[in-house]
Structure 1
Amino acid sequence: MELSRAWLVNRVLRKPAVLLPVLVALLYTLIDLPLGQIPPVGGTLEAWTSFLGSTCLPLSLEHLLASILAMWGGPLPAIAYRGVLQAFEWFSPVLPDLNWAMKALVGTAVPVVALGIIQEYFSFQLAPCCRRKKRGEQGIVSAAAFSVAAVIAIWFSLGVFPVKPAVIYSGSMRPSIEVGDIVIVAQKNPSLLDVGDVISYRVKDSPIPIVHRVITIEGDGSSKAFITKGDDNKEADQPVKPEQVMGKVVLKIPRVGWASIAIRKFIISG
């Protein structure tokens, strides 16, 4: 793979340029993507976000760094870089079983730092000397900011932080919450919930959480249950157990979720 990468960058594409390693990295990311880990087309948003954060983003940055190494030094630096990663994985007797969030952070931070060092070192070959430092610093800051922002966005969307966004797909909470709105759900101890709170909860076999208002609280302790209902619904929902509750809605962002709805409809219809 690294021999073909170096040949493609330095023989076919000829002249070194910033865009070339990006294109080559995208190509080799598609080739190297583990097909068995790709979620099904109808998979949940959490499954797809986790896959993109823990697999796609780190893999693409790994190939970007290898492509830049191949552009400036030929196949040997790229082989050395990716060879160390593979050797560590093959020969290490015990590897830490990191969760997807830490995999995303580690897999993103290491290539970004290396890219910054390489770009700073070779920046004089990409621009006149009078603009060398400015461009090199801008590239480093841009790459780092984009990667960190992507990881934080993925963490936020999957609830690594104590708050999590949820897209509203139905009009059951009209007029207070409309279709296409995004609500921010904060984790909260179910014992602290009160009648009138709008909560998000999971239903078995449904990938989309339900956002409804608590109208009654029944029982206590292990037998406690929340009776919820959409503001625009006539009938109440089935009793909700405390372990089903994901959190309380603390903020509404109008209409921002329409893009997510359109993408989901496209995937399901496709």
Structure 2
Amino acid sequence: MSNLASFFGGKVFRRILLVGMVLMMIILTGTELVPFANESYFIYFVRPLLWLGIALTVFLFPRTKPVARPSLRRFVINMAVGAAVVYILFMMVGGMITGLGKSPYSFGLVASTINLFYIAGFTLGVEAARSYLVNSYQGKYTVPVVALISLFFVFTRLSLREMQGLEAGMALMQYFGGTFFPAFAESLLTSYFAYLGGFVPAAAFHGILLAFERFSPILPDMTWPMKTFLGCFIPVFTLLFVRHMYFLQARLLKRTAEESNELFGWLLTSVFSVAMIWFAVGIFPVYPSVIVTGSMEPMIKPGDVVLVQKLEGDEVRLGDVIQYYHPEIKINITHRVIDINREGQMALITKGDNNSSVDADPVMPEQVKGKVIKVLPKVGWFTLILKSEQPVPEGVTY
């Protein structure tokens, strides 16, 4: 073994070699540079074998020592398993709120065996490489180095092809909010387990999550705001909790009410912040909307914020001030319902209180987003200033 270790040279060489091997896997799996890498045989057989080759390479390296002393390694492993189970439970709760879907994977004997081989190869290779890179560094910049390593390993899960095809705007925000940031948060937590306990807790945490993804017949089908919340904040909360519990177990921190209150305070603040974000993007039955024109004066002025209660189009009543989506100009319009045409297909006739004529197009029930239940004067002025450079579409009075 010592001869093999000496063959691989110094620590810097081993790091460079390992990063190069992982980078090769990222290029093979996430780009179009190697056409055959997208074939089924490569994905399910060659790729796991290559990851197992990386794991074997790390096994031949000299051992690295994680931070936790040997007597606490089992505690860290138990925390990793518990964290994975709690994470899955929260994901399922999120799915119950926004929706559940059937797994896209097959569950026959052959398919399950292939998936198991894929998970085992991928987990062993990724976590062996992660553990070595994290624990071979012994400098004073541990936090940024671990964060950088975590970011690097995000790309073992995500496809660079998807990122290249993204356009600026909502699609980009949804991808980063619902996919990239959750993957980074999960990678950070996995790296922290590797930092504390080495390969085993990191592989246990990551492997359980992958096994759930591949072997559960029902998976959460969540909206991107829900993915952002659960995928980012649950791993961050878990990291803080694991750190706190490890410090207590290692007697690096006294059990004081002040420390517990501080942790609870961070938790409460984060949950409140996320709830505000959810409220702003429309997760709840009531959501805010900034008014940018004066078509509804004097009831609603530019810069006011209206609270809109979600409802179906057939629930609208004459005189309601509704918000509806205009598909051609792709904006939300807030106007009053002045007539309801119930002959044939239902249609709503709308008009701004300050406009001289009715809106050109009748509003179909499926366009209705909700009705205004409250006006908050001048609350949206800051947003209005930010939008001041955006012109109102020609011919539109909303």
Please report the TM-score for the alignment, with normalisation by the length of structure 2.
0.52
Tell whether the 8 Å contact from 1:200 to 1:245 is kept in structure 2 after alignment: yes
Q: Any idea what the Cα deviations from partners look like across 1:56-106, whole Å, max 9, x if unmatched?
A: 45323312311321222234422321122223324x273425232665565
Tell whether the 8 Å contact from 1:227 to 1:239 is kept in structure 2 after alignment: yes
Letter in 2 for 1:78: A
Q: Any idea what the Cα deviations from partners look like across 1:204-230, whole Å, max 9, x if unmatched?
A: 24443111122x213226533222122
Letter in 2 for 1:55: T
Q: 1:48 & 1:167 partners in 2: Cα distance?
A: 23
The secondary structure found in structure 2 opposite 1:88 is: helix
Q: Any idea what the Cα deviations from partners look like across 1:136-157, whole Å, max 9, x if unmatched?
A: 65236524651x3455345434
Choose from 327, 332, 356 the match for 1:234.
356
The secondary structure found in structure 1 opposite 2:348 is: strand
Matching residue of 1:120: 244
Letter in 1 for 2:309: A
Matching residue of 2:186: 62
Aligned residues: 260
Matching residue of 2:206: 82
Q: 1:260 & 1:40 partners in 2: Cα distance?
A: 25
Choose from 346, 353, 358 the match for 1:224.
346
Residue 327 (structure 2) pairs with residue 201 (structure 1): no
Q: Any idea what the Cα deviations from partners look like across 1:117-172, whole Å, max 9, x if unmatched?
A: 412322249996447664365236524651x3455345434433211222334343
Q: How many angstroms does 1:31 deviate by?
A: 7.7
Q: 1:212 & 1:126 partners in 2: Cα distance?
A: 62
Letter in 2 for 1:40: E
Choose from 235, 243, 256 the match for 2:380.
256
Q: How many angstroms does 1:53 deviate by?
A: 5.0
Tell whether the 8 Å contact from 1:173 to 1:231 is kept in structure 2 after alignment: yes
Q: 1:129 & 1:31 partners in 2: Cα distance?
A: 35
The secondary structure found in structure 1 opposite 2:219 is: coil
Residue 289 (structure 2) pairs with residue 162 (structure 1): no
Tell whether the 8 Å contact from 1:179 to 1:255 is kept in structure 2 after alignment: no
Distance 1:263 1:219, change over 3 A: closer
Tell whether the 8 Å contact from 1:105 to 1:151 is kept in structure 2 after alignment: yes
Choose from 230, 241, 245 the match for 2:368.
245
Tell whether the 8 Å contact from 2:326 to 2:332 is kept in structure 1 after alignment: yes
Of all paired residues, the percent bearing the same amino acid is 34
Matching residue of 2:262: 138
Residue 136 (structure 2) pairs with residue 14 (structure 1): no
Letter in 1 for 2:243: Q
Displaced runs of 4 or more, over 6 A = 16-20, 263-266
Residue 207 (structure 2) pairs with residue 98 (structure 1): no
Q: 2:384 & 2:205 partners in 1: Cα distance?
A: 37
The secondary structure found in structure 1 opposite 2:193 is: helix
Give the greater-gyration-radius structure (CA): 2
Distance 1:150 1:86, change over 3 A: farther
Matching residue of 1:177: 300
Q: 1:68 & 1:264 partners in 2: Cα distance?
A: 45
* Gap regions ≥5 residues in structure 1: none
Tell whether the 8 Å contact from 1:10 to 1:16 is kept in structure 2 after alignment: no
Tell whether the 8 Å contact from 1:65 to 1:111 is kept in structure 2 after alignment: yes
Matching residue of 1:213: 336
The secondary structure found in structure 2 opposite 1:209 is: strand
Tell whether the 8 Å contact from 1:181 to 1:258 is kept in structure 2 after alignment: no
Tell whether the 8 Å contact from 2:335 to 2:352 is kept in structure 1 after alignment: yes
Q: 2:365 & 2:308 partners in 1: Cα distance?
A: 15
Tell whether the 8 Å contact from 2:134 to 2:195 is kept in structure 1 after alignment: yes
Choose from 196, 202, 206 the match for 1:72.
196
Tell whether the 8 Å contact from 1:2 to 1:78 is kept in structure 2 after alignment: yes
The secondary structure found in structure 2 opposite 1:184 is: strand
Q: 1:244 & 1:232 partners in 2: Cα distance?
A: 22
The secondary structure found in structure 2 opposite 1:247 is: strand
Q: How many angstroms does 1:23 deviate by?
A: 6.3
The secondary structure found in structure 2 opposite 1:81 is: helix
Q: Any idea what the Cα deviations from partners look like across 1:187-206, whole Å, max 9, x if unmatched?
A: 23444534432210011244
Tell whether the 8 Å contact from 2:313 to 2:367 is kept in structure 1 after alignment: no
Please report the TM-score for the alignment, with normalisation by the length of structure 1.
0.71
* Gap regions ≥5 residues in structure 2: 1-125, 391-398
